[in-house]
Chain A
Amino acid sequence: MSPATVSDGARRFAPGAAALREQQAYVAGQAADARVNVELDTGDMTLNIGPQHPATHGTLRIACRLDGEQVIAAEPLMGYMHRGYEKLCEVRTYPQCTTLINRIDWLGSFANEVPFILAAEQLMGVEAPPRAQWIRTILFELSRIANVSLFLGDMGVQIGALTPVFFAFRDRERVLNQIEEVTGGRFHPNFDRIGGLKDDLPRGWIAETHAVMAKMRGFCDEMEDLLMGNEIFQTRCRGVGVIPKDVALSHGLSGANLRASGVDWDLRRDANPGLAWDQIDWRVWTHPDGDSFARYWVRMQETREATKIVDQLLDSIPSGPIMTKVPLIIKVPAGEAYVSTENPLGEMGYYVVSKGGLGPFRVKIRTPSFSNISIVPWVMRGTYVPDIITILGSLYFILGDIDR
């Protein structure tokens, strides 16, 4: 892929916060430009993006049909990383399942464990002690910061700016160090237990984490200066890949992708499954534009908000045990439960069916990226080839989260 073709960018630059622009209007504008080259009879051609492409964060293949440089149809082809977790969970006990679940969204692993454990706790009728819930929420938000800060830098790579991603890797490591200090794992903590947590916080961790949160706020400011205010970045992202509200809802988009389309919906606030988010003061950020820029902006604000959430939670951790009494061999009573949480990528939910055995009878894993990427055929139609990369980047997905 050639790097940013910015020469025609000014045409797409929407000054200020443009009101919701229908994609049809955008496509019509592009089609009008394409008419300039009408004497060049360009037949349809097929272009494969991926399976190995930096923008795909793994092995996603997108088969595009092009007319000149304009996309007529784009169809994601996945399954290169399908590991069959729903089937594998059926032959494992509940504690063994968390090992698999860690590897769905590998950049925010701890956040994956929480809804599954909460679903099992609902079925068993046990509740973790307040201290455990507080620490769960803190680690959940740290996973969000570690996950989304990488996006904030990586979005620059998609438009040819290489520096931000190195800053992101540098500063993400600070957060991963904090997670590692508690759980022993940088990426796969496997720390959440039915009834509580494996361990308590180490000594001195709270002060260190406060310092890291301040650093991460600095990182966000840095990204804003480096990237968000950059004219090329704005030109490539504003008014590109617009997803209106109703389309986003009917495709099941979730997380920042939904909020960037102006839907005020966050499961942390609207369907809190029992963690500490309702105990503190924070807000949900939305943006009316629905374009790539809005998705970046919302994630930036959410990262800042998450640092504030962590700071408040750290100051108010209750004392007490971190584990409630549960049997050694966990047998979950027969029943069904669905718990979903607002993970770094969006709504992640587990529908757990138990028949009273040692392991689940069926686990349906609702992953955010699967639904988020299902918008690709709709949103790519009529865009130009370089925009495929920025739109994909702004939708932000993790391959393990699509393929499970």
Chain B
Amino acid sequence: MADDTDDGTETPGDEARDALAAELAELLGDAVVETHVEAGQNLWLRIEIEHWRTAITALRDAGFVYFGFLSAIDWSDAPEGRYEDTEFDGAGVGEDEEETTSATASDTVRRGGGETRFQLLAHLHAPARHAAVLLKADVTDVDGAPASVPSIIDVFAGANWHEREAHEMFGIVFDGHPNLEHIYLPSEFEGHPLRKDFPLLARAVKPWPGVVDIEEIPPELEAQLEAEVMASFEASGAGA
């Protein structure tokens, strides 16, 4: 419509998102566990799982009418890249050498918080306000499996397929979803591939052919490679 863009909203700084976070915390009341703002990037809201549906309904009525996506995160620690010896014990951190790094990392990593294994993740836009919000909710654990969560397809019709995908990939059951069937995988497929304890067979049976695998590189090799590259980089003057 207008030729020129709306300059004031193009790069909302801290203030815009902080104000929005305060406003939404006010709007949702007890449902909000915590908010997190990353300056110039995103706004996270962590919501109590029992308020998941009501909070999303309230957000929609407050102008967040545009559905972005819905998914989940499996926070359990799996030795990345070494799936052959991955056996999820339900207790989180295993007894491997990555124990220290993962334990310290997970303290800082959970921007939206998260005390349980699975976390729901959703993204909503408010086109009229040029704002967006990332929503998170911890899914209650029941013996290592996620408890069922309320479906939001009557709030956002587009959530239908996203919930089906989260169901087949993570095994999260959405109460009130009319058709929780597999969307990508064959109907007889067993298991939930995006769970961290689901082995990636291709990597288990055949080693990675490249030099750099996802596994840690020995520190002395890393330092040597680093020095070589930085030397050539500075010689060429590209970083100046």
> Which A residues contact B (CB, under 8 angstroms)?
78-79, 82, 84, 86-88, 90-93, 96, 122, 246-247, 249-253, 263-265, 269-272, 278, 281, 283-284, 286, 321, 323-325, 327-329, 334-338, 340, 347, 349, 351, 353-359, 361-362, 364, 366, 370-371, 374-375, 378, 403
B1 and A252: CB pair below 8 A?
no
Known contacts A336-B111, A359-B214; A79/B183 CB under 8 A: yes
| Distance of A61 from chain B, by nearest CB (Å) | 13
30 A-B pairs in the complex with CB atoms less than 8 angstroms apart: A79-B186, A87-B193, A87-B198, A88-B200, A90-B80, A91-B200, A96-B212, A251-B67, A252-B158, A269-B6, A284-B1, A321-B240, A329-B222, A335-B111, A336-B109, A338-B42, A349-B123, A351-B134, A353-B109, A355-B101, A355-B102, A355-B105, A355-B109, A358-B214, A361-B80, A362-B74, A366-B69, A371-B67, A371-B158, A403-B184
Determine the distance from Cα of A370 to Cα of B225 in the docked complex, in whole angstroms. 41
Q: Which residues in window 1-15 of B have CB below 8 A to A?
A: 1-6, 9-11
Partner of B1 from A78, A286, A321, A328 at Cβ < 8 Å = A286
B67 and A329: CB pair below 8 A?
no
B69 and A358: CB pair below 8 A?
no
The winner among A269, A327, A362 for most chain B CB atoms within 10 A is: A362
Determine the distance from Cα of A37 to Cα of B3 in the docked complex, in whole angstroms. 51
| Distance of B94 from chain A, by nearest CB (Å) | 14
Residues of B within 8 Å of A, CB-based: how many? Answer: 72
Given contacts A87-B200, A351-B134, A358-B212, 13 further A-B pairs with CB under 8 A are A82-B184, A90-B200, A91-B203, A252-B69, A265-B127, A272-B10, A284-B1, A286-B1, A334-B109, A351-B121, A355-B105, A366-B69, A371-B69
Partner of B238 from A88, A253, A321 at Cβ < 8 Å = A321
Contacts of B214 in A (CB 8 A): 91-93, 357-359
Contacts of B41 in A (CB 8 A): 122, 337
B157 and A247: CB pair below 8 A?
yes
A86 and B111: CB pair below 8 A?
no
